[in-house]
Chains A and B, each alone.
Chain A
Amino acid sequence: MFRRLEDPRAEIEFDFEGRPVTAREGESVAAALLAAGLRGFRATAISGASRAPWCMMGVCFDCLMEIDGVASRQACMVTVTRGMHVRRQRGAKALDGAAAPFDDEEGDFA
């Protein structure tokens, strides 16, 4: 699991599937969610296996999330902003352009 070092940067809040999450100004969505204890970031299209950031530098695409209504964005490359809406997705973009949400409400978000 991850923890934060002492950090003077301003705290901001964003929305993760209806829950408020605290982040630090300037960090990526992926960093904020890892620090908040999220383990599974998405489920694959084929087997539904849980995935999470592997590279944190834009190479692996395992951090894809729906961010502010746009599906399949790289959470490790998007800077988190106040009030942002972030959701997990299953597979790639759903046909209507919105990500299919997880059906288990609990997920594995600590």
Chain B
Amino acid sequence: MSAVFDAVIIGAGPAGMAAAITLADHDARVLVLDEQAGPGGQIYRGVEEMSLTMPELFAALGPDYAHGDELAARFRNCGAEYRARAMVWQVIPGEEAHEVWVSQGGRSSRVLARSVLVATGAMERPVPVPGWTLPGAMTAGAIQVLLKSAGVVAEDLVIAGAGPLVYLLAAQCLAAGARPMAVLDTTPRGNLTAALPLLPGALRGKGPGYLAKGIGLKLALRREGVPVFSFVTDIALKGTSEVTDIAFKSRGRPLWLSAGVVALHEGVIPAQQMTRALGCAHEWDDVQRCFRPRTDGFGNSSVEGVLVAGDGGGIGGARAAEHEGRIAAAEMLRRAGKLDDAARDRLAAPERRGLAQHLAIRPFLDRLYAPPAWVRAPADEVMICRCEEVTAGAIRAAASAGAQGPNQAKSFLRTGMGACQGRMCGPVVSEIMAAAHGISVEQAGYYRIRPPLKPITVGELAEAELD
């Protein structure tokens, strides 16, 4: 059996990279695994390559993106072992060490770790509207990925949704010379009034910087004359074999635009797959309407030796993710016997202050961009499970027929049994079940997730190597 790593980090986004740098600085033996081709995670996707090959676009994406290039460079030089295109499909908690199973280039192998840091980030909340399964319907993040990692932009793009990423994407498209045809802002009127009392809190710490950036993005759109429709509801994508139009209401008025590509976005939620499969306890966030793994102040989950940092533990943004990564690193150093409690606390203290500064704006943002009711209670005819093609109405019917929660819905309808393993329907199915039975989403619960987290061929499984 080969040596046990002090820490194995899953995910090379801001949280994972920052944790790795701190661990390596203290001479810990650390391995970072990420399924992407390079480090950066979602926000800094493709950052290394773009800074080299497309310097103009790199500059256009601004200083926040450039920060990712510096972070990636420090990560590359920190001494941590890093494997790209390495997909972790199972983690088995153990007494002495945890087993981490990883697939790379069609071969699977196992590594052992004293501590495992889950830094797998967020995913975009599913946006179930009529027509969201048509080719041409994508997420805002998908349009960003195309821009950042392939230099590909949409010609006839309408961006519809709510949250900071909507305006960021619009501005990034403009900076790349690809003007969006329109932005449809779905922030409900009621969110503005509910968020207002939280504004003073958002003026603390780094809040003003975030607010200024947000206002700047909106002003840039106005300056460039991109039409922005507000209080948008009743979105429906039209087309027979692909998106050709989008129908919606703005301030109650029915409208219609033609569009070949529609980017939908209703915020990001922690990617639960890994922490669920590990058996970590999760809690429900009633404002953001999402589950997140329960952690203590050091990132420890309910499973001994399994820590969580970054957006996978609750949405805080990229800078908060770095601080959380370094706090978790301090705890993993203690677990590895490299720091005592006092030294760990000293290492974590400035990170906690930094984290608080970046989180000051969150209560305001969370309330302002709380998902509208139609995201969690779609009309009966809307497809919820994209893989098995199950509608909201069918899920409600299963609830009336006796399905108590998501796992029973699964056995009634096969929801969550398709290729995506419930990633796309899970959040909505839990909401529908809770509403149907008049219980909280926490009580309704979530799918049980079993490994492998992504399909592995039988051949790969048979040839898997121990160490």
Contact = CB atoms under 8 A, between A and B. Distances in A.
Are A and B co-members of a single complex? Answer: yes
Interface of A: 1-9, 24, 26-28, 31-32, 34-35, 39-41, 44, 46-47, 49-62, 64, 70, 72, 74, 76-77, 79, 92, 108
Contacts of B242: 39-40, 50, 52, 108
B155 interface: yes
Contact of B37 (A8, A50, A79): A79
Contact of B153 (A2, A44, A50, A92): A2
Interface string B424-467: 10000000000000000000000000000011010000000000
A-B complex: 5 closest residue pairs judged by Cβ atoms:
A52-B135, A56-B142, A31-B150, A61-B419, A56-B145
Contacts of A34: 146, 152
Contact of B155 (A2, A50, A54): A2
Nearest to A44: B389
B387 interface: yes
A70 B456 CA distance: 12
A49 B389 contact: yes
A99 to B, nearest CB: 13
Contacts of A51: 133, 135, 386
A interface SS class: loop
B139 A27 contact: no
A75 to B, nearest CB: 12
Nearest to A8: B53
B46 to A, nearest CB: 8
21 contacts: A1-B156, A1-B261, A5-B178, A27-B149, A31-B152, A34-B146, A35-B150, A39-B242, A41-B135, A49-B389, A53-B138, A54-B132, A55-B142, A57-B42, A57-B141, A58-B35, A64-B419, A72-B419, A72-B455, A74-B454, A92-B419
Contacts of B402: none
B203 interface: no
Given A5-B57, A59-B423, A35 B136 contact: no
A58 to B, nearest CB: 7
Contacts of B178: 3, 5
Contact of B260 (A1, A31, A32): A1
Nearest to A7: B151
